[in-house]
Amino acid sequence: MAEGPDGEGPNAAQIAYWNSQSCAGWLTEHERLDALFAPLTEAALAAAAPYPGERAADVGCGAGATVLALARAVGPGGGVLGLDVSERLVARARERIAEAGLDATARVELADAALRPFAAEADLLFSRFGVMFFADPVAAFANLRRALRPEGRMAFVAWRPLAENPWFRLPVEAAREHLPPSTDPPPEPCAPGPFAFDDLERVRGILAAAGWRGVEIAPHDPMMRLAPAAGAVAAARDAAAVGPLARALAGAGEEERRRAVDAVAEALRAHDGPGGVVLPGAVWLVSARP
């Protein structure tokens, strides 16, 4: 790679994963995901409280929705640096910054945030679901601490356990009998992944060991609107396009996939009402000082 993360480092497997076809949904579906995540994004940004003139960094910024939100909040007198290891997501984030006319305020770098050298100049370190993928989270968070000025702060949002996130769990459970047998070994507990930070005490331990102080962790329970009313089929197709069900269906044939989507749509119909197809979600809002 001409720019960006070293494919040989401790996060090589995650870097390969986030650059693979398995993650195509994060690119093609980013508008839908941004709408789905809107309530928790609002809560995470409120906790981060960016204000005009500040310098912010957005770790694992993906297609850049929160880079844009932070750039608008800090204004032309401030600055935002997005960091991500996915070439295609970084490219999309850059396009969106240009489309929004925010080039003077925001930029995105292809970099492994766990290893990138930082000067202690940011006021705010922010992340929406971008900090659960480090092979050595203590070392990564020690490095991220070096990005902040001494008076700076960190605020990120991470998923609580799968059991508390039926919007995530239900599609996989409903599709289970139609899924091809998995060739992957079962993941190690706490392995990098969307639920690596689901245990509050583990998160506290990681941050304390990495030198963070004043750690506060609050639960937040957003309602996840998967589709408009009468949209169970669309929501089932969406679930098959990105996330754990998409991963489980990676080796599926057309017929297997169709049966899985039908089973998910059937299960989602029970949650389809006048307000749309809605299921509960559960996240941690984490904040700390360097």
Ligand X SMILES: C[S@@+](CC[C@H](N)C(=O)[O-])C[C@H]1O[C@@H](n2cnc3c(N)ncnc32)[C@H](O)[C@@H]1O
Rounded-to-integer distance, Cα 91 and Cα 44, Å:
24
Using CB under 6 A, which residues numbered 134 to 163 contact ligand X? 134
Which residues are 280's β-sheet partners?
Answer: 223
In the chain, where does DSSP find H-type helix? 12-18, 24-28, 30-36, 38-48, 65-74, 87-99, 137-145, 166-175, 200-209, 232-241, 244-248, 254-269
Asked whether the beta carbons of 283 and 38 are under 8 A apart, the reply is no
Cα dihedral 26, 207, 203, 34 in deg (nearest 10): -20
Indicate whether 86 belongs to the interface with ligand X (CB under 6 A).
yes
Q: How many residues bind ligand X (CB under 6 A)?
A: 21
Asked whether the beta carbons of 58 and 83 are under 8 A apart, the reply is yes
Interface with ligand X (CB under 6 A), residue from 85, 158, 248, 278 = 85
Nearer to ligand X, 65 or 249 (CB): 65
Binding region for ligand X (CB under 6 A) out of 101-109, 123-131, 174-182, 277-285: 123-131
Nearer to ligand X, 86 or 105 (CB): 86
Binding region for ligand X (CB under 6 A) out of 130-138, 141-149, 217-225, 277-285: 130-138
Indicate whether 112 belongs to the interface with ligand X (CB under 6 A).
yes
Interface with ligand X (CB under 6 A), residue from 129, 141, 167, 212 = 129
Binding region for ligand X (CB under 6 A) out of 81-89, 179-187, 214-222, 236-244: 81-89
Asked whether the beta carbons of 125 and 152 are under 8 A apart, the reply is yes
Nearer to ligand X, 134 or 195 (CB): 134
Asked whether the beta carbons of 126 and 153 are under 8 A apart, the reply is no
Interface with ligand X (CB under 6 A), residue from 78, 79, 130, 171 = 130
The residues that touch ligand X, with contacts defined as CB under 6 A, are 11, 14, 18, 33, 60-62, 65, 83-86, 89, 112-114, 128-130, 133-134
